[in-house]
Amino acid sequence: MKSSWLSATVASALLAVGLAACGTGGSGSASGNLQIWEGYTGAEAHAFAHLLSEWNKAHPTEKVTSLYVNNDDSLPKLLTAVKGGSQPDIAYVYGSWAPNVAQIPQVVNLTKVVQQPGVNWNDFWVGERDVATVKGKVIGIPALVDNLAVVYNKTLFAQAGLQPPSSSWTWTDFVADAAKLTDPAKKQFGTAYVTPGTEDTVWHWEALLWEAGGAILNSSNTKAAFDTSAGLESLNTLRTMAVTDKSMYLDPSDSEYANLFNSGKIGMLVTGPWDLSGFPNVKYGVQIMPSYPGVNSHQTISGPDNWVIFNNGSKRVSAAEKFLLWMTATPQATYFSLATGDLPIRQSVENSPGFLQKMDKSLPGVDTFVTNLGNVEQARPQVATYPKVSTILGTMIVSVLLGKSQPQAALNSAAQQVNAALAGGSGS
């Protein structure tokens, strides 16, 4: 499941209207079964239904019923439900919404819950724990984790006389390989970049920024921190491919790149495990992100989502906590990953005997994405104004890639806009 993100306009409206309208309590779901909102489809829906059935058989007095709610719509629907006192007991919400979700009075503080013996909170990846925690308070339990790595076409690399990328490769290597993989006569590109200006545009660049030693905001989340030499180096890396070498296919649709890669028209992609099943025609390999010379950081970025509990009374909260701790425990997390191809939410799952081999057999290359979770060192800023920041950064990146702005000027302008947004925001 590919995570998605809230637009700045919608986020601002939710903060101004939805959160202000929230009450201070409510019975929510009627007495009886707990209700959980989730947006699973396909293999994920089948696997979740199986786990739900197993739980309900073993816990006849604490049954859980599921209601499908498209994940893109979950936060506005939740705010409406909270306003009317009809919120579910548990809901799946995007991790980037955590600062907004934390402001809802009915959201249960899980800090003490995850510290209980046997939960093993540190077994969840650091990126997951960071995104589930807002200002020191745990407001969610990890539901999903992804990351970015490089997927490359082995056949095109061989035809270009290139060695497959190694685990020690650099962005200098990546840029050079992209140029050699480009053939205008064949309408073949070395790489691609998504340019709708959304968070998908932004988080691809943020990984480069961190690898270059930069940061998005300062340590107190009050000022822009990306307008530095690291920001310039990372933007120049993308600009070289898009503008100078013309080795980068720019995809405003955020979807055509996958079809082109599967057709042998793109040499390599920075993408996530969700795309692998869409490449049946390509003999591909997967490698971790390149690093910058002198920094030697192969950081990736994680896109975790959360399960959130709403207060519908102490008895229901207790039952909801019990269910979530069971569902996200190692045995159930292992089953879900093997059944769906989703990355494991716990480190213990990766380390269980035979797990990586089983995952890679069903989805070749996914084992690299699993081990790549160890390269997640930080998360995007946990501030309610982040959607505004993201929109500004998305505009900046697209402008540079289209050759409309020079990197340094774009960074300076974006930093000024971000500082204004943070100064006027309510979530910083």
Percent of the chain residues topping a pLDDT of 90: 86
Query: Measuring CA to CA, which residue among 103, 75, 72, 98 is closest to residue 88?
Result: 75
The predicted model gives 244-266 an average pLDDT of: 97
How far apart CA 101 and CA 140 sit, in angstroms, is 9
* Domain made up of 8-145+303-375: CATH architecture: 3-Layer(aba) Sandwich (3.40)
Residue range 286-324, pLDDT digits in tens:
999 999 988 989 999 988 999 999 999 999 999 999 999
Which of the four pLDDT bands, split at 50, 70 and 90, describes residue 2? low
pLDDT value, residue 30: 46
Query: Measuring CA to CA, which residue among 17, 84, 136 is closest to residue 312?
Result: 84
Which of the four pLDDT bands, split at 50, 70 and 90, describes residue 84? very high
Residue range 178-230, pLDDT digits in tens:
999 999 999 999 999 999 999 999 999 999 999 999 999 999 999 999 999 99
User: Is 90 a residue whose pLDDT tops 60?
Assistant: yes
Q: Which has the minimum average pLDDT: 25-29, 36-40, 175-179, 202-206?
A: 25-29
Does the domain made of 149-301+385-424 have the CATH classification 2.40.70.10? no
| pTM check: above 0.75 | yes
pLDDT value, residue 23: 45
First to last CA, the chain: 29
The phi and psi torsions of 271 (rounded to 5 degrees) equal -155, -170
With beta carbons less than 8 A apart as the criterion, state whether 25 and 104 touch: no
Residues of the chain within CATH 3.40.190.10 domain(s) are 8-145+303-375, 149-301+385-424
pLDDT value, residue 31: 53
Composition of the chain by helix, strand, coil, percent to 5: 50, 15, 35
How far apart CA 178 and CA 157 sit, in angstroms, is 10
pLDDT value, residue 72: 84
Element (H, E) at 76: helix 74-83
With beta carbons less than 8 A apart as the criterion, state whether 318 and 59 touch: no
